[in-house]
Structure 1
Amino acid sequence: MAKTYKKIVLVVLDGFGVATYSHGNAVALANPESLNDMIAHYPSLTLLASGPVVGLPWGEMGNSEVGHLNMSAGRIVGQDLPRINSAISDRSFFSNTVFLDAIDHAKKNNSKLHVVGLLSEGGVHGSSEHIYALLGLAAEQNFKEVYIHMITDGRDTGPKVALDSLRKLQANMSTLGIGKIATITGRFYAMDRGGHWEQTLATYRAMVKGAGASAESAEDAILNNYNQNIFDEMIPPTVIVNRDEESAIKPTGVVESGDSIIFTNFRSDRALQLTEAFTKPQLIKAGNVHEALSDLFFVTMTEYFEDLPVHVAFPPTNLKNNLAQTISQNGLRQYHIAETEKYAHVTSFFNGGVSGALPGEEREIVQSPANNRSYEDHPEMSGIELTAKLIDKITKEDFSFYLANFANADMVGHTGNIDAAIKAVSFLDRFLEQIMRVVLSVDGLLIITADHGNVEEMIDRKSGGINKEHTTSPVPMVIIANDLAFSTQKSRNYTSLSSMVPAGVIS
């Protein structure tokens, strides 16, 4: 008979993949002694965390939302990216009533349609193709007053691809005879998720008030920053301006009352703050809170949060009977913890898109380091405090299931600083050693895995340049308990991240 564990601890190492040795493999270079020892003495295997086995298109790198959804679901979960792509292919996208209502609203008000989104080929938070499709829809509806608020990537793509992305967008607009670029903003500002409201509000003010940096063309906005060694991710909110007949400089197209906005990002965590700035400004925990614009028709591509006053173009599909729900339905208690940068991962992502806590679920957030411009200077992130809080809960409180996400590998990996990433892996190794000792002391079960790769491939194998993106690498899984230790390492097998629960880890 299989042993029943009263305490099960799932630790997710965000952005921690498995790859062969290379000069860009921060995991191999760090040589994490404790983790290597765990792999040698307890059951371990590797899990596929990208492409079709987690509901993504073939060759598409994994990401945190996809990883946590699949982990908890225990089955392949169809993702928003292929869902929206399919709608474009079968043309149901162009009859989506929410999009049509947004255009009708702007027509009736003789106002503007603003398309806001990450112009990226990365496919993690948004897709250029979705922006192109909306331009096509507006053209079909014979609506010309379309303004693009372009968010540049540089994180899930190369650091300097914005000009190429811009030229493709301009070619698309030229072909359709529709659209103007109103603002350009790096994702560091427009897509903050860590509560750094000064970044979000700078984006808002550029879009609504035409305030901040300015440029007379979108190309100038990008090149002016490149000349200062400021690349795509960090481009400050920049207003594209025009000169009128009297040579007065005016913003190309600000957001005003009565307008429509379509936010094309399909992943929620980095779209939420900017959406709240428009729709729920009274909740902003920052100074100079503004009044909401009136009669604004705000569309989000997917559901960012359950109670936002917005129109959702692609509502969530019900994801029932996942791990978090099953634990709750059986009257058991569970504890979820992460730092600010990864809070959505252990809450709405792991809970299948449910934003609120389930019955019996306790959540805890640890503040990420305040200076989010330089996580390379903080490879420990908030892991020391997070580890202490997790250990305290394991030893002192009676939860059946504990979920912890450690941000170090992913957040430091995204900086492109290999030395800092090596330190981040070393910190993780120390945290895992502490957690393992405590879990074994209470005769519990510890599962260590990851949601996607990143830190194991920080040098592009083709170009030799720095790679700050996620990867298609498999991820590790180690299962640790007093009764599972063995003296020789078992062979590894490849499976998928979504097979984690059906493999019999939790039953």
Structure 2
Amino acid sequence: MGNSDFSWKLADHPKLPKGKTVAVVVLDGWGEANPDKYNCIHVAETPTMDSAQAGAHKWRLVRAHGTAVGLPTEDDMGNSEVGHNALGAGSIFAQGAKLVDLALASGKIYDGEGFKYIKECFDQGTLHLIGLLSDGGVRSRLDQLQLLLKGSSEHGAKRIRVHVLTDGRDVLDGSSVGFVETLENDLAKLREKGIQHASGGGRMYVTMDRYENDWGVVKRAWDAQVLGEAPHKFRSAAEAVKKLREDPKTNDQYLPPFVIVDQSGKAVGPMVDGDAVVTFNFQADRMVMVAKALEYEDFDKFDRVRFPKIRYAGMLQYDGELKLPSQYLVSPPEIERTSGEYLVHNGIRTFACSETVKFGHVTFFWKNMSKFLVTLELHSIFNPG
């Protein structure tokens, strides 16, 4: 349909009178699947939802995973972002993992402005890759990292350091050992090309905080990834993960930070002037804080000790309003005609709210992709100060 033929006009609802207040409740993570003992929603007591389903207005199921929301395969479980971004659009837009897959498969990722920007450092500096080591497909994927390592090497990177974050949230706890060993086997073949692990830590304890809940998480990342300093030092990432997981109180999500050192005990991968950095997660919310630390000169959330002159790019742009980061390897999806835009064009006022740890979904995802939807951020109400 051409733009000239398109109308924003919404037909009147056949039953609801005009001016009626309507609540749209997004049950993030709620779904229907086979009713067995592993299905927590089936096992739980849910009288309110059971009553709603048994009433006169039964809900309709909407697919929120896989190819229906622009993800690569039906096995991709999806995430909050891909559902909220395109709410009401009635179209499928390639998002997140799918966008990265297409860019890697076509090789266009290496022709883009973001890669050209970091490539300026390849002759003299080190390329640092930071992100979640997982195959969960929610925030990153191991196979994408493997392709990016290979492609970066083939496109001029002479020295690469990988800073891994163990998962245990989007995948089973304990799976980090296998992921690290898989990557180390790859790196062993590439070591003569100057590629190796540099640091690591659990995703919820190192790097991946969100909505400025705990800057200490990013501070621990900065110390290990940038300064090359951590309480634990190992000769390999596999040794680090296995050893640290021996503590019964430790799991993949909260693995303490570690650095890889050489024979003399010196960290192999601190960041220095002239280096390039890529955060390879494709989902945005848990990358914004570290992006601020890497990019902002006037950053004041913690003492960075030193701020190396680097060239930094995200896998995607993580915050469209802040234009953060300013450089990225894959362009974000151009999503249009979402529910928010329809409401505004029809003069319907909206009020959107969420509990604290999801407030960004109504103030960032919806607002960014529905450019004219005005929302009220309630973070200060739920979390005073």
Calculate the TM-score normalised by the size of structure 1: 0.66
Distance 1:199 1:281, change over 3 A: farther
Deviations 1:59-93 (A, max 9, x none): 21121111212324232222121121122222223
Is 1:237 the counterpart of 2:257 in the alignment? yes
Whole-Å separation in 2 of the counterparts to 1:40 and 1:309: 47
- What residue number does 2:87 align with? 71
Q: Which has the higher contact order (CA 8 A, sep 6+)?
A: 1
- What residue number does 2:246 align with? 227
2:230 to 212, 236, 246: 212
For 1:253, what is the secondary structure of its paired residue?
A: coil
Is 1:54 the counterpart of 2:69 in the alignment? yes
Asked if 1 retains the 8 angstrom alpha-carbon contact of 2:317 and 2:325, the reply is no
Whole-Å separation in 1 of the counterparts to 2:380 and 2:49: 24
1:476-495 counterparts in 2 under 5 A? none
Task: Using the TM superposition, give the Cα deviation of residue 101 of structure 1 relative to its aligned residue in structure 2, in angstroms.
Answer: 2.8
Whole-Å separation in 1 of the counterparts to 2:268 and 2:52: 58
Deviations 1:270-309 (A, max 9, x none): 111111121126455x4x4336724321000111113325
For 1:47, what is the secondary structure of its paired residue?
A: coil
Is 1:33 the counterpart of 2:52 in the alignment? no
- What residue number does 1:165 align with? 179
1:139 to 138, 146, 153: 153
1:314 to 327, 330, 340: 330
Q: Indicate the larger mover: 27-36 or 230-239.
A: 27-36
Deviations 1:203-230 (A, max 9, x none): 1111122222222221221012210032
For 1:81, what is the secondary structure of its paired residue?
A: helix
Distance 1:359 1:60, change over 3 A: closer
- What residue number does 2:165 align with? 151
For 1:198, what is the secondary structure of its paired residue?
A: helix
1:69-218 counterparts in 2 under 5 A? 69-107=85-123, 110-176=124-190, 177-178=192-193, 179-188=195-204, 189-194=206-211, 195-213=213-231, 214-218=233-237
Whole-Å separation in 1 of the counterparts to 2:383 and 2:235: 36
Asked if 2 retains the 8 angstrom alpha-carbon contact of 1:225 and 1:235, the reply is yes
Distance 1:40 1:292, change over 3 A: farther
Matched residues, percent identical?
Answer: 26
Size of the aligned set, in residue pairs, is 360
2:283 to 267, 273, 294: 267
Whole-Å separation in 2 of the counterparts to 1:173 and 1:334: 51
For 2:309, what is the secondary structure of its paired residue?
A: coil
Whole-Å separation in 2 of the counterparts to 1:309 and 1:63: 21
Asked if 2 retains the 8 angstrom alpha-carbon contact of 1:334 and 1:362, the reply is no
Distance 1:329 1:205, change over 3 A: farther
Distance 1:353 1:207, change over 3 A: farther
Calculate the TM-score normalised by the size of structure 2: 0.86
Deviations 1:250-287 (A, max 9, x none): 11110122211011111100111111121126455x4x
1:254 to 267, 270, 275: 270
Whole-Å separation in 2 of the counterparts to 1:180 and 1:133: 15
For 1:11, what is the secondary structure of its paired residue?
A: coil
Asked if 2 retains the 8 angstrom alpha-carbon contact of 1:281 and 1:289, the reply is no
Higher normalized helix content (fraction of residues): 1
Distance 1:283 1:295, change over 3 A: closer
Distance 1:167 1:359, change over 3 A: closer
Task: Using the TM superposition, give the Cα deviation of residue 115 of structure 1 relative to its aligned residue in structure 2, in angstroms.
Answer: 0.8
Unaligned runs of 5+ in 2: 1-12
1:161 corresponds to which letter in structure 2?
Answer: S
Q: CA RMSD in A?
A: 2.4
Unaligned runs of 5+ in 1: 371-507
Task: Using the TM superposition, give the Cα deviation of residue 202 of structure 1 relative to its aligned residue in structure 2, in angstroms.
Answer: 0.8
Whole-Å separation in 2 of the counterparts to 1:333 and 1:253: 52
For 1:243, what is the secondary structure of its paired residue?
A: coil
Task: Using the TM superposition, give the Cα deviation of residue 352 of structure 1 relative to its aligned residue in structure 2, in angstroms.
Answer: 5.0
Task: Using the TM superposition, give the Cα deviation of residue 160 of structure 1 relative to its aligned residue in structure 2, in angstroms.
Answer: 1.1
For 1:190, what is the secondary structure of its paired residue?
A: coil
Whole-Å separation in 2 of the counterparts to 1:297 and 1:290: 17
For 1:134, what is the secondary structure of its paired residue?
A: helix
2:295 corresponds to which letter in structure 1?
Answer: T
